[in-house]
Amino acid sequence: MSARWLVLAAAVALLAAVPWFGNAVLIQFGINALLVAVLAQSWNILGGFAGYVSFGNSVFYGLGSYGVAIAMAQWNLPFWAGLMVAAFVAVAFAALLGWPILRLRGPYFAIVTLGISAAMSALAANLDIAGKNVGLILPLTRADALFYEGSLVLLAAATLTVAWIAHSRFGMALIAIREDEDAAGSVGVNATRFKIAALAMAAFFTALAGGIHAYWITYIDPAGSFDTTLDLRMVIMTMFGGPGTVLGPVVGALVLSAIYEVLADSISTAAALFFGIVILVAVIFLPRGLVDLGGGFRTMGWRYFLANIRQYRI
């Protein structure tokens, strides 16, 4: 146990030190990877713990981006005030949206979230305050090291929140919903309330990530902010790392970001193909995610992979 904490502390220290030894390219890669890890970790709250697969969390990312952009570019507010606007709007939207759509289950929920994510970019493209199709330009700040550390702090906060969830009554309620929602209701779990709270927490961290990203790249438009490919990346990275675990989504996001970066750098056009193969192999051999590998391999050795294949009948 203490060895595990030591490794974790060393990893965090190493990540925090990147701006001191890394070059500009590494820092920029780091900002993107950390922010996408925040998205995966946020998605994990409802998707991993409660088993509700959302393809619409990019909506909160977009709302966060636009919240900061509108606050800074239109209202001349400072960045921190923009982040507060972003978080408030996203959480309020999640609560309003959750009330009707979290009554849907399984594929119905997934499909509705997809639709909402597509509708939001059209909405932003038609709002004057959001700069319509053109988008908004934010004040330029050259401080990549700060953006990097800010993203790391946000990821740490999201991960600590998930660590709390994993050990709380709230988390047990989400797990009960994932395991059997009818049985959860029978033992007294108010499923709708817990699901809305989970979605609101996801919206909070996702919006902050969107806000940081908007200020960092200084320019946002509807297609880039309400980017539905982000939804796929959140899902894939969480599944790859280990859904419903504390560190899985972070490990999954960082590892997959790194793999993709290396592939794109070395073989460029074929990168997407190899990336697909990596995910396919992971789904077949590691259905419980990368973080399950350590414990599973220690107890079962190579049979771990066979057991996975057999259990999930792939």
Residues near another protein, by CB under 8 A: 167-169, 172-173, 175-176, 179-180, 182-191
HSE, side-chain direction, 13 A CA sphere, residue 28: 7
Residue 161 and residue 246 in contact, taking contact as beta carbons nearer than 8 Å: no
Short-list 46, 12, 61, 31, CA closest to 205: 61
Residue 133: helix, strand or coil by DSSP?
coil
Burial class (CB in 10 A: 0-12, 13-18, 19+), 295: exposed
Smallest distance, another protein to C-beta of residue 179, A? 4
Smallest distance, another protein to C-beta of residue 184, A? 8
Nearer to another protein, 103 or 232 (CB): 103
Nearer to another protein, 19 or 185 (CB): 185
Which residues lie below 8 Å from residue 221, measured CB to CB, with a gap of 6+? 131, 133, 134, 135
109-113-114-118 Cα dihedral, nearest 10 degrees: 150
Nearer to another protein, 92 or 183 (CB): 183
Smallest distance, another protein to C-beta of residue 181, A? 10
Smallest distance, another protein to C-beta of residue 251, A? 20
Nearer to another protein, 130 or 176 (CB): 176
Residue 174 and residue 194 in contact, taking contact as beta carbons nearer than 8 Å: yes
CA angle 171, 116, 137 (to 5 degrees): 100
Nearer to another protein, 107 or 188 (CB): 188
Smallest distance, another protein to C-beta of residue 289, A? 14
Smallest distance, another protein to C-beta of residue 178, A? 8
Burial 130-141 (b: 16+ CB within 10 A, else e): bbeeebbebeee
Nearer to another protein, 128 or 182 (CB): 182
Nearer to another protein, 121 or 245 (CB): 245
For tokens 């920029």, name the residue.
28
Smallest distance, another protein to C-beta of residue 304, A? 16
Smallest distance, another protein to C-beta of residue 279, A? 23
Nearer to another protein, 78 or 106 (CB): 106
Rounded CA-CA distance 5/129 in Å is: 47
Burial class (CB in 10 A: 0-12, 13-18, 19+), 274: middle
Residues pairing with 219 in the sheet: 137
Nearer to another protein, 192 or 218 (CB): 192
Smallest distance, another protein to C-beta of residue 202, A? 21
27-29-30-33 Cα dihedral, nearest 10 degrees: 170
